[in-house]
Copies of this chain bind each other. A is one copy, B any other.
């Protein structure tokens, strides 16, 4: 490793070898974020898919001081935002992008956001990523619970990562893993830490999250998690379809009742559509693994989101098929919970508890389905999981929001 350090020629480089991986500290209490790049070439890896990891800092406007880590695995380019909960800003393979076009163009430093603003909707001032972590004290719509205003979707997405490290396996296939720790701590209130991990293999069209929530406190606490995974064109279009093994589906609210018959297909960008949301209880295989698929009308381009229902038992399908400018986007959102305010989810049994010192793991995989074969295979996997079991289409919302 010492020779490597010299070869890398980066004097401030912190690199420790363990478990047969190159480890780099990108950010820590005594390591400021810096413009730097680590490449497969620097590491002496000979490959026809050279990869690189680049760290940079944004300036100006509300994005002053925001760190970005760009991972180019040789095929897929990913951008991760340590300053915003290790959210995944976007991913792309060639000109096919995962992600969407939010009206929010800046990658907003949480220092400039008041989550309590706009009646608890301040979160919307920074919302523009492909993967937005929601939680972990709570998720869901703003509102009072236990005498406190819970702001939209919790604090994780606006929590800067505390320590960011990069690990590259020394052995092929040289898995690239980016870790960042989030601390959700408030005296008397909460003592959570979340070690987030994003991994990808050089040359692949997939990446995976493996997040570990720890309750460092001495008391059991309620928690909620929801992964707000947002996709748009080229997958989302008129006639695009959502496919998943579904045990139960129901409209989130009265508005969503109307489109219930067509809940698995998408509209073109539609003026004044705003959004409809469907609450899905997915089926899974014997291990709890399940798959949600979004594909275009021709079924030759799509994405799949894999997760485990023992970790994330429910799923929200957010269909925000309004105009492009308003944000033409759909959310495939596995979670412990739906998007109701926490006070509505307790009676549904969707506010789990994490014991003192306990951990919860959330693993999600994201794959580009680059052609018809890949889409077919994913859809077949869904069918396999469904395994002929019935789908309950519930006509009314699980929560009567009129009683608020």
Q: Please tell me if the beta carbons of B160 and A64 are within 8 angstroms of each other in the complex.
A: yes
Copies in the complex: 3
Interchain CB contact under 8 A, A124 and B186: yes
Chain B's nearest CB lies how many Å from the CB of A337?
Answer: 20
Contact pick for A103, options B62, B114, B163, B217, CB 8 Å: B217
A2: min CB distance to chain B, Å: 25
A148 within 8 A of B: yes
- Rounded to whole angstroms, the CA-CA distance of A218 and B103 in the bound complex is 10
**A10 CB-CB contact with B under 8 Å:** no
- Chain B residues with CB below 8 A from A161, complex form: 60-61
Are A28 and B119 within 8 A (Cβ)? no
Q: What residue in chain B is nearest A35 (Cβ atoms)?
A: B30
Q: Are B29 and A103 in contact (CB under 8 A)?
A: no
Complex contact B64–A327 (CB within 8 A): no
Name A184's closest neighbour in chain B (CB-CB).
B125
CB pairs A–B below 8 angstroms (26 shown)? A29-B60, A30-B56, A30-B59, A33-B59, A60-B160, A61-B160, A61-B182, A62-B159, A62-B160, A62-B183, A64-B160, A105-B185, A110-B112, A116-B117, A118-B148, A118-B149, A118-B186, A119-B148, A121-B148, A124-B188, A125-B189, A127-B187, A191-B325, A218-B271, A218-B325, A219-B326
Residue A250 lies at the interface, judged by CB distance under 8 Å to chain B: no
Is A124 a contact of B59 with CB atoms below 8 Å?
Answer: no
| Those of A107-159 within 8 Å (CB) of chain B | 109-112, 114-119, 121, 124-125, 127-128, 147-149, 151, 159
- Report if A58 contacts B (CB, 8 A): yes
Chain B minimum-CB-distance residue to A64 = B160
A164 within 8 A of partner (CB): yes
Interface centre among A29, A60, A117 (most CB of B within 10 A): A60
Partner of A149, one of B62, B105, B106, B119: B119
Answer yes or no: A356 CB below 8 A from chain B CBs. Answer: yes
Number of contacting residues on A, CB 8 A? 70
Minimum CB–CB distance from A61 to chain B (whole Å) comes to 3
Instruction: Select A324's contact among B56, B181, B218, beta carbons within 8 Å.
Output: B218
A160-195 vs B, CB cutoff 8 Å, 1 = contact: the mask equals 111110000000000000000111011111110000
Kindly report which residue of chain B lies nearest to residue A30, judged by CB atoms.
B59
Q: For A187, list chain B residues within 8 Å (CB).
A: 102-104, 124-125, 127-128, 327
The minimal Cβ–Cβ distance linking A219 to chain B, given in whole angstroms, is 7
A65 within 8 A of B: yes
Contacting residues, chain B, for A59 (C-beta < 8 A): 27-33
Give bound CA distance, A149 to B117, whole Å. 8
B160/A147 in contact, CB under 8 A: no
| A323 located at the interface, meaning its Cβ lies under 8 Å from any Cβ of chain B in the complex | yes
A63 touches B (CB below 8 Å): yes
Give the chain B neighbours of A188 by CB distance below 8 A. Answer: 124, 274, 326-327
Contact assessment for B115 and A114 in the assembled complex, using a CB-CB cutoff below 8 Å: yes
Counting CB contacts under 8 A, is A216 at the interface? Answer: yes
Note all chain B residues with C-beta closer than 8 A to A181.
61
Given contacts A29-B58, A125-B186, 14 further A-B contacts (CB under 8 A): A28-B60, A62-B162, A64-B65, A64-B160, A104-B187, A105-B183, A117-B151, A118-B149, A125-B185, A191-B325, A216-B325, A217-B326, A218-B324, A218-B325
Docked CA distance A121–B219 (Å): 20
CA distance A327 to B189 in the complex (A): 11
Known: A124-B189, A187-B103, A217-B326. A61 touches B117 (CB 8 A): no
Tell whether, in the assembled complex, residue A326 and residue B29 are in contact, meaning their CB atoms are under 8 Å apart.
Answer: no
- Which residues of chain B are near A103, meaning CB under 8 Å? 185-187, 190-191, 216-217
* A163 and B60 within 8 A (CB): yes
> Which of A57, A104, A164 has most B Cβ within 10 Å?
A104
